[in-house]
Amino acid sequence: MEPIKVKVDQSKSRNRYDMEDLIIDACMELEQRIKDEEIDILVDDINDTIHEIADNSVPIYYYDIGQFAAHNSCLMTIKSELNPEGTPHDQIQSNIYSEIVDGLHAYIAKKEKDEEDEK
């Protein structure tokens, strides 16, 4: 009997607890919202939408928070400005939130620049 050969497509494999993947997912959500709600990023204030998406992207379960910390050690070493006196889990969540917000702002800045260059 031959062993079963499993093919793994490495191009599609992602680390579930990688911050970059979490930020990419949030950017995809933001892009979808921009299309669905017909938001003009050069005119409309998109800050509320960014914070809503970031808030929805932060993990709430202790296991997931711990896994993000284990895979992204910087989340444990930075003292959160949003919740400086919170529990370790609260601090990690705050740091994840800040990273997502920063990533979404960078994404919007790039999109704004690209749209202005097209004009």
- pLDDT recorded at residue 63: 93
**What is the pTM for the complete model shown?**
0.81
**pLDDT confidence tier of residue 116, bands split at 50, 70 and 90:** confident
Who's near 86: CB < 8 A, 6+ residues apart? 80, 94
Does pLDDT of 94 surpass 60?
A: yes
**CB-CB contact of 32 with 39 (8 Å):** no
Give the C-alpha separation, 2 to 52, whole Å. 52
Q: How many other C-beta atoms can be found within 10 angstroms of the C-beta atom of residue 91? A: 22
Query: Using one digit for the tens of pLDDT, what is the confidence trace for 5-48?
Result: 444 344 444 567 899 999 999 999 999 998 888 887 767 778 99
Query: Using one digit for the tens of pLDDT, what is the confidence trace for 39-89?
Result: 877 677 789 999 999 999 999 999 999 999 999 988 988 888 888 888 899
Does pLDDT of 93 surpass 80?
A: yes
The amino acid present at 97, given as its one-letter code, is Y
DSSP string, 79-118: PPSSSTTS-HHHHHHHHHHHHHHHHHHHHHHHHHHHHHHH
**CB-CB contact of 42 with 115 (8 Å):** yes
Topology of domain 19-118, per CATH?
Four Helix Bundle (Hemerythrin (Met), subunit A) (1.20.120)
| Average pLDDT value over all residues in the chain | 84
Give the C-alpha separation, 37 to 90, whole Å. 32
- pLDDT recorded at residue 41: 74
